Amino acid sequence: MDIRELDRRAVRASMDVVAQLRAEDLDRPTPCAGWTLADLLAHMTAQHHGFAAAAEGNGADPVVWRVEPVGDDAVIAYAKAAERVITAFAEDGVLDRRFALPEFGTGLTFPAAQAMGFHFIDYLVHGWDVARALGVEYTAEPDLAEAAWPIAQAVPDGEQRRKPGAAFQPSVAAPEGATRFDQILAMLGRPPAR
């Protein structure tokens, strides 16, 4: 399946979860170490804008990745950013481009499909992060989890995940009989037990 469609579905699922958030929820802790829901939403919103800019050829500019604090309109800001990245990824010819992703290193670019894969796995998991913080149910659709499995397997594990600002925590053991999505969560440092 087209990575753009996989990503679109993951982002839409995250939008559905974020839509359940109320302003009073923003101080809740999340599975992302040290982050409240406000911090996580600010990160997610900024990443949508950054990846959209990368798809449009402007990803090298660090300003487009800047994380801004979210206010009481966090849900609306998130939805607008999500729509922006979905639209940018759907542009004709986007799969022929290279995306500048300065978070991986200055001057580094990636083939569009690979960069979109990074975005896809992030939003599949961040949707779960938000749901977990809100105490609501969230499970990735089985075909999305299967498509995300090889991407998750390619994320390096080890000591670099213990450094401040690491995208993922060190992997944890998946429970016996875990679903593919729970295996992904465990691989990316999130205990999937509910």
Which tens digit of pLDDT belongs to each residue from 160-184?
Answer: 666 766 667 778 888 888 999 999 9
3-state secondary structure labels for all residues of 138-178: CCCCHHHHHHHHHHHHHCCCCHHHHCCCCCCCCCCCCCCCC
Which tens digit of pLDDT belongs to each residue from 61-100?
Answer: 999 999 999 888 999 999 999 999 999 999 999 999 999 9
Q: What is the pLDDT of residue 193?
A: 64
Alpha carbons 128 and 124: distance in angstroms, whole number: 7
**pLDDT of 104 above 90:** no
Q: What percent of the chain has pLDDT over 70?
A: 95
Which residues, including other chains, have CB under 8 Å from residue 44's CB and lie 6 or more apart? 14, 18, 78, 81, 123, 126, 130
Q: What is the pLDDT of residue 167?
A: 66
- Tokens matching residue 95: 């799969």
Which residues, including other chains, have CB under 8 Å from residue 114's CB and lie 6 or more apart? none
Which residues, including other chains, have CB under 8 Å from residue 1's CB and lie 6 or more apart? 143, 147
Alpha carbons 180 and 82: distance in angstroms, whole number: 25
**Amino acid (one-letter) located at 39:** D
DSSP secondary structure code for residue 98 in this structure:
E
pTM of the model: 0.93
Alpha carbons 35 and 24: distance in angstroms, whole number: 15
